[in-house]
Amino acid sequence: MDLFLEQEGARQRGGGIYTLAMCLMACVVGVVHLLAVLCLGGSIYDSSVHQTVIVWTLPATFAVLLVGVIVRVYALRMGGVGLVQELGGTRILPSSTDPGDQLLLRLVEELSIACGVPVPQVWLLERETSINAFAVGSDPSSVVVGVTRGALERLSPEELKAVLLHEFSHVLSGDMRLKFQMLAWVQGILFLSLAGRLMVASDSAVGEGFWSKRRFPQTGGSGSRSVRRAGATVDGESQGRSILGVVLMFLGSVSGVFGRFLQGVISRDREFTADFAAAGCFQTTAPVVSALRKIGGLRNRSWLETPTAPESGHLFFGQAAEGLYSAFFPTHPLLEDRIRRLEPQWNGTFLTSAAVKVAPQPSEADAQAKVAELKPEEDSKLSAAQRAAAAIGARKREKLRAKEISQLTGSASYPASNLDFLGRGFLPAQLASAGVVKKSLREDWLALSRTRDGAKSMFLELMKLPSAAGYQLGGATITQALLLADLAMPSLRLMKEQEYFRFMKLCRREAVRPDSIDLPQFLLLHVVRRRLAIALGLREVAPFAFESLTSVWREAQVLMSVMLHTGAPTASARAAAHQAAWGSLGYDNPPASMEGVTVTDMGEALDACEKATPLLKKRILVACGLAAAYQGQIADREMTLVRLFADAMGCAVPSLLRAKMD
């Protein structure tokens, strides 16, 4: 899957869907106006009636729709946290001792590493027994992953991983961003119906609403008459409010048709692509197919019990609600169609599943300790030759493990030709390497990343200038520093607004000094500052504004000039890399490299390139990689800098493979 092509497709679909959303809102206004004319006894052919009624129906309906949009935009300002709280989710903390929670956290961390995105917050829909999941956020920085209790207890680890991969494919392909932005428009269209439901469900001051049969006793006495009059007044207010709610629900049923239609347009066709992307990571369709078959085998399938599920149904792995609207305007393809797309020979049967608590998994340290306890007893039963052979085997396994880690995290380089595959994701090799890459981090680093104060202390340490050459950041390589920043994101997102500003001020004081500015540290600071600002609702995700290279020509020159001075060691090699980089952009006579690029220049260049279209971002990133190439290879440090550039532009990319990619 080429993620840049998928993101470009999502961008182009977004323009059409926004136009459709506005047309649907205009249709809601028109239908409400016609209903008002008919309810007042007028004729739809009488222009004078229309002129009289439209004076209040047009502004009133638009006001209600606008309020719905504003309410939803405000609720979603911090990404998906507000939405998952509405759905009744509970955040899973790293300190949780529940085996199911630990399994889910581990899977999400490994898949985030494989996909090259910051680790999202993980939430559990505790009361939902169906099988479902979702990922929501305006940007990979603000993503929230939610999983139902039924999915956690009814799916095997491989099936659960397949479901999560399906959601991560929406994150990387740009579908999630489009779906998230459309939430506000869907909410606006459905706001009439939602407001009516809330008014009918609300209680009066005496605790009862329109549907209540409760009445006050009408006994004699002046006190009784006073209570009766008070009760009648309040009950009348309750009935009036509920009657208005019924009217709004009736009008909302009209807008509901348009809202459900919009949800289906946003979601339905992309589910097939996400299914294939998840299946491609396993080299077999079995995990995705079995998860879908287990959904079909449940009585409540993937439906949620929470009443707010229909408004966000297009975000889920499976159909989140049942009913008339879902039957005529489904947000997802039929389960049978999704299964047959993956497995044409499917016999049409579903799978039964039982809810089973996740068993605790022993950690690697516990397993080694257990082996150490048993070793003396076992050694006494072995001959000297057998003990020697066992020791040799153990040393070989340890060397193989160390070699595997060094191949993935060491100083080995990448073929420059692999840059053509930048943005290629959901490869089995990427998924297999995630666990090994994580093992390269020290346990004390991992422990720090899992608490808010620990993550802040760790990042401040990474911002300190290195004491020697080699670009070691606080004892970690730049590759490990980026990985730690990814793992620490759920903890850093717990900061409050003022705490964030103080923290960024301290980090900038450490990383940016007049006499010495370290490029990796500055880029890491820029990336984390952007991530947290979006996740905390302090800045908006930059819109796509630039489609041609001429719009960001100087900014691309700044970034390539920076990379040119970090790669090739000789002047002749830098000249060749300079020619190759600009040649990839179509320039046979490239401009001279810029000297004395400042921090301000780099920050402005990254902010401008963030507004470029996905395919233009890829061209710039490939050119930056070629500018740092030497003898057809790109060092691990320079490749990590390219990934930092990509993250700063809002398009986190998975790691390339070290072997030549065809």
User: 563 vs 399, which has greater pLDDT?
Assistant: 563
Overall average pLDDT of the 429-457 stretch: 85
**pLDDT surpassing 60 at residue 212:** no
User: 65 vs 380, which has greater pLDDT?
Assistant: 65
| Confidence bin at 288 (pLDDT 50/70/90) | very high
281 to each of 9, 342, 419, 428, how far by Cα in Å?
22, 13, 21, 5
| Confidence bin at 132 (pLDDT 50/70/90) | very high
| Confidence bin at 515 (pLDDT 50/70/90) | low
Question: What crossing angle do the helices spanning 497-511 and 519-535 adopt, rounded to 10°?
Answer: 170
List the structure tokens of 589. Answer: 């006579």
Are the beta carbons of 99 and 362 closer than 8 angstroms? no
Alpha helix (H) residue ranges in 268-347? 270-280, 286-296, 324-328, 335-342
Cα atoms in the Cβ-side hemisphere of radius 13 Å centred on 411 = 5
Overall average pLDDT of the 287-307 stretch: 90
Cα of first residue to Cα of last residue in the chain, in angstroms, is: 14
Q: pTM score, two decimals?
A: 0.81
DSSP 123-159: EEETT--S--EEEE-SSGGG-EEEEEHHHHHHS-HHH
| Confidence bin at 220 (pLDDT 50/70/90) | very low
CA 171 to chain centre: 5
156 to each of 30, 122, 343, how far by Cα in Å?
50, 18, 19
User: At which residue do the structure tokens 């002047």 appear?
Assistant: 571
Are the beta carbons of 122 and 91 closer than 8 angstroms? yes
pLDDT digits (tens, 9 = 90+) for 341-376: 999 999 889 998 888 888 776 655 454 454 445 445
Which helix (H) or strand (E) segment is 446 a member of? helix 443-449
**How much is the pLDDT for 490?**
93
Alpha carbons 638 and 577: distance in angstroms, whole number: 13
Alpha carbons 173 and 2: distance in angstroms, whole number: 8
Q: Is 217 helix (H, G, I), strand (E, B) or coil?
A: coil
| Confidence bin at 400 (pLDDT 50/70/90) | low
Q: What percent of the chain lies above the pLDDT cut of 70? A: 77
Overall average pLDDT of the 196-201 stretch: 60
486 to each of 93, 263, 506, how far by Cα in Å?
16, 32, 20
User: At which residue do the structure tokens 């996905």 appear?
Assistant: 614
Rg (the chain; Cα; Å): 29
**How much is the pLDDT for 410?**
47
**Across 29-33, 187-191, 631-635, least confident range:** 187-191
**pLDDT surpassing 70 at residue 7:** yes
**pLDDT surpassing 70 at residue 230:** no
CA 646 to chain centre: 16
**pLDDT surpassing 70 at residue 502:** yes
Are the beta carbons of 111 and 165 closer than 8 angstroms? yes
List the structure tokens of 375. Answer: 């070793």
**pLDDT surpassing 90 at residue 154:** yes
Are the beta carbons of 118 and 112 closer than 8 angstroms? yes
How buried is 124 (Cβ within 10 angstroms: 0-12 exposed, 13-18 middle, 19+ buried)? Answer: buried
Q: Which of 275, 273, 258, 266 is nearest to 328 (CA)?
A: 258
How buried is 585 (Cβ within 10 angstroms: 0-12 exposed, 13-18 middle, 19+ buried)? Answer: middle
Overall average pLDDT of the 53-60 stretch: 81
| Confidence bin at 226 (pLDDT 50/70/90) | very low
Alpha carbons 52 and 127: distance in angstroms, whole number: 50
pLDDT averaged over every residue in the chain: 79
Are the beta carbons of 547 and 616 closer than 8 angstroms? yes
Alpha carbons 83 and 511: distance in angstroms, whole number: 36
**How much is the pLDDT for 218?**
43
Q: Which of 607, 78, 654 is nearest to 421 (CA)?
A: 654
Of 75-89, 183-197, 371-385, the range with the highest mean pLDDT is 75-89
DSSP 66-93: HHHHHHHHHHTTTTTHHHHHHTT-EEPP
308 φ, ψ (degrees, to nearest 5): -90, 0
Instruction: Kindly give, in sequence order, each residue whose CB lies less than 8 Å from that of residue 396, ignoring residues fewer than 6 positions away.
Output: none
Q: What percent of the chain lies above the pLDDT cut of 90? A: 26
**How much is the pLDDT for 443?**
86
| Confidence bin at 165 (pLDDT 50/70/90) | very high
**How much is the pLDDT for 559?**
92
CA 432 to chain centre: 21
List the structure tokens of 608. Answer: 């401008």
Q: Is 581 helix (H, G, I), strand (E, B) or coil?
A: helix
pLDDT digits (tens, 9 = 90+) for 621-654: 999 999 988 888 888 888 889 999 999 998 888 8
**pLDDT surpassing 70 at residue 582:** yes
Q: Which of 331, 340, 347, 349 is nearest to 276 (CA)?
A: 340
User: 402 vs 183, which has greater pLDDT?
Assistant: 183
**How much is the pLDDT for 173?**
86
**pLDDT surpassing 60 at residue 239:** no
Q: Are strands 414-415 and 633-634 parallel, antiparallel or unpaired?
A: antiparallel
| Confidence bin at 538 (pLDDT 50/70/90) | confident
Query: Could you state, in order of their start, the residue ranges of all structural domains in the chain?
Result: 1-207+233-359, 450-535, 542-648
Q: Which of 605, 598, 639 is nearest to 622 (CA)?
A: 639
List the structure tokens of 614. Answer: 């996905």
Alpha carbons 343 and 339: distance in angstroms, whole number: 6
**How much is the pLDDT for 210?**
34
**pLDDT surpassing 90 at residue 119:** yes
**Across 224-238, 241-255, 302-316, least confident range:** 224-238
